[in-house]
């Protein structure tokens, strides 16, 4: 009879139970030593930032020269959310992160959460995440799905192959914003172009999209292959949209130059 293979979560829960059972046998001094060692190891590996168990980043936009007000936003990083009965450590981490955000002074203008809600989690995980995040005090909260263009195209192709494209599109509709990076960097074949256009058409006037590309609209026929589809895709994107053209030097090139000068 083959030995039963244990899942990662089952092993974790068993090890967790054994760990806490072992703590009961420690005296006070030994407990403090174990706690200090665990804290030091976590901090040294970067798993435990000094301010929070679950990293919360805060960014602020500087006021422009025309005296427009600045704004702050907080970002709660990936928490690998599971159902509470399966694994409670990530639930506790997210609860701690929400508490950290609520204790910020001044409060952020809005909050981004990049976790399993942003990675097409299961329905029960989505419900749990929404339940926890509703306690965030910030006035504006958004569920944002970030992906690179090639990745979302492959997801759409697999869904179409399995006759589940409509199901995937409805799942993506849970997000307030879909952010697609590197749009047009990789040449698409006709099947890839078709599912990409399907996504744009489905999101039109249903949900927001943010797209980054190094191609001007005049060259988008390289993506959508024919003038009619190209025009239809651009028409859906620019309606209700704001187009930002960034004619600035590459920050990667600037950083590489700084490192090169520093090493001289």
- Between residues 52 and 137, which one has the greater pLDDT? 137
What's the pLDDT tens digit per position in 217-228?
A: 888 888 888 899
> What is the per-residue pLDDT for 62?
54
Instruction: Say whether both 252 and 227 belong to one domain.
Output: yes
Residues 204, 233: one domain? yes
The CA distance from 136 to 102, in Å, is 6
Establish if 112 belongs to a structural domain: yes
State the pLDDT confidence band at 250, using cuts at 50, 70 and 90. confident
Q: What percent of the chain has pLDDT over 90?
A: 14
DSSP string, 1-46: -PPPPPPHHHHHHHHHHHHHHHHTT--HHHHHHHHHHHHHHHHHTT
Confidence grade of residue 48 (pLDDT, cut at 50, 70, 90)? very low
pLDDT score at 153: 92
Residue 169 and residue 239 in one domain: yes
Q: Is the pLDDT of residue 178 over 50?
A: yes
Q: Same structural domain for residues 106 and 183?
A: no
The predicted structure's pLDDT at residue 1: 53
Question: 216 and 179, same structural domain?
Answer: yes
- Regarding predicted confidence, which is higher, 244 or 195? 195
Please report which residue ranges of 141-219 form alpha helices under DSSP H: 149-161, 165-172, 190-203
Residue 46 belongs to a domain: no
By the 10 Å C-beta count (0-12 exposed, 13-18 middle, 19+ buried), 34 is classed as middle
Q: What is the dihedral of CA 159, 241, 116, 173, to 10 degrees?
A: -50
Q: What is the DSSP string of 165-182?
A: HHHHHHHHTTSSEEEEES
Q: Which of 51, 58, 49 is nearest to 105 (CA)?
A: 58
Residues 108, 150: one domain?
no
Q: pTM (2 decimals)?
A: 0.58
Do 149 and 131 lie in a common domain? no
Domain CATH for 164:
3.40.50.300
Cβ neighbours for 87, distance < 8 A, ≥ 6 positions apart? 9, 12, 13
Residue 242 pLDDT level (bands cut at 50, 70, 90): confident
Tell whether 133 and 210 lie within a shared domain.
no
Tell me the residue range of the domain where 95 lies: 8-26+51-61+70-138
In a domain, 43, yes or no: no
21 lies in some domain: yes
- Asked if pLDDT for residue 44 goes beyond 60, the answer is no
Mean pLDDT score, 218-242: 89
pLDDT greater at residue 128 or residue 38: 128
Phi and psi for 159 in degrees, rounded to 5? -65, -40
Query: Which is more confident, 56 or 260?
Result: 260
pLDDT value for 45: 46
Using the 3D structure, point to which of 81, 115, 138 is the last residue of a domain: 138
Q: Counting beta carbons within 10 angstroms of the beta carbon of residue 194, is it exposed (0 to 12), middle (13 to 18) or buried (19 or more)? A: middle
77-122, pLDDT tens digit by residue? 766 666 666 667 777 888 888 888 888 888 888 787 765 555 556 6
Query: Is the same domain home to 153 and 226?
Result: yes
Domain count, the chain: 2
| Residues 205, 240: Cα–Cα separation, whole Å | 9
């Amino acid at each position: 009879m083959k030995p039963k293979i244990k899942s990662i979560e089952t092993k974790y829960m068993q090890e967790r139970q054994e760990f806490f059972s072992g703590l009961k046998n420690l005296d006070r001094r030994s407990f403090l030593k174990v706690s200090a060692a665990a804290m030091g190891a976590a901090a040294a590996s970067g798993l435990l930032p000094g301010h929070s168990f679950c990293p919360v980043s805060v960014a602020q936009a500087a006021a422009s020269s025309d005296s427009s007000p600045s704004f702050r936003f907080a970002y709660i990083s990936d928490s690998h959310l599971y159902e509470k009965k399966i694994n409670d450590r990530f639930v506790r981490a997210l609860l701690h992160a929400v508490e950290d955000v609520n204790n910020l002074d001044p409060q952020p203008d809005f909050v981004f959460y990049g976790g399993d809600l942003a990675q097409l989690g299961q329905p029960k995980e989505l419900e749990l995440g929404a339940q926890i995040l509703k306690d965030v005090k910030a006035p504006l909260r958004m569920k944002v799905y970030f992906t690179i263009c090639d990745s979302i195209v492959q997801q759409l192709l697999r869904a179409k192959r399995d006759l589940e494209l409509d199901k995937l599109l409805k799942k993506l509709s849970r997000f307030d914003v879909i952010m697609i990076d590197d749009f047009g960097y990789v040449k698409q074949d006709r099947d890839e172009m078709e599912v990409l256009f399907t996504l744009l058409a489905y999101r039109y006037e249903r949900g927001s999209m943010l797209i980054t590309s190094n191609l001007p609209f005049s060259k988008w026929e390289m993506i959508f292959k024919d003038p009619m589809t190209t025009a239809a895709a651009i028409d859906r994107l620019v309606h209700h949209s704001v187009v930002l053209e960034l004619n600035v030097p590459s920050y990667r090139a600037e950083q590489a130059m700084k490192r090169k000068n520093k090493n001289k």
